Structure 1
């Protein structure tokens, strides 16, 4: 997706807990920009992962350049598409 990359890996350990991680590199910008991007990614995960995430899997959201400028509703729909795609 243009605003982020979603990686998902099933743990296959029998634990249905979903775990999530966030990464934003220094290429994106200074600390203020990176923290803003992480806050947006956390809000997206809080909204969508409980319902659309894969139980027993690790989800990692990697912020991409331009993710801060994208509309939040657009990012939300993109995350929904990405979660549906990795669930297959």
Structure 2
């Protein structure tokens, strides 16, 4: 499997992206959205996937966004990625014009928030949600 950095594999199969979207802790941000899913296998290496929709630009722009995110993932996610977890990065158009240091910083912040939410557990996440409208 291709690697972004030592110990961080790249997700390629659609089924993995769908599972990560369905069962993930989701963190939104102005530059990058992060979805983190624990696969439940602590022996498996962490994986990262990149999503850039056609709505954000043409092929050249989308490829440039993915290149920037790959390097940012190597710097921000690889050192603190948890074994057995999938991380999906959803690019926003702002990734094209943002300073690279800000992308890395925002991605690191999103990763810390995702790990914090995952540590709280599903019952805590449900109680933190606002009540349904009456």
Give TM-score scaled by structure 1 length.
Answer: 0.93
> More displaced, 13-22 or 55-64?
13-22
1:27 aligns to what SS in structure 2? helix
Is 1:26 matched up with 2:54? yes
- Structure 1 gap segments, 5+ residues each: none
**Which structure is larger by alpha-carbon Rg, 1 or 2?**
2
Partner Cα separation in structure 1 for residue 78 and residue 54 of structure 2: 29
Return the TM-score normalized by structure 2.
0.63
- After superposition, the CA RMSD in angstroms is 1.0
Q: How far did 1:38 drift?
A: 0.3
Give deviations 1:3-60, integer Å, cap 9, x for gaps.
Answer: 1100000000232410010010011100000000000010011112221222210000
Query: How many pairs were matched up?
Result: 88
Structure 2: runs of 5 or more not aligned:
1-28, 117-134
Give the alignment partner of residue 80 of structure 1, picking from 84, 94, 108: 108
SS state at 2:82 partner: coil
Larger RCO (CA under 8 A, 6+ residues apart): 1
Structure number with the higher helix fraction is: 2
- Counterpart CA distance in 2 for 1:72 and 1:84 is 19
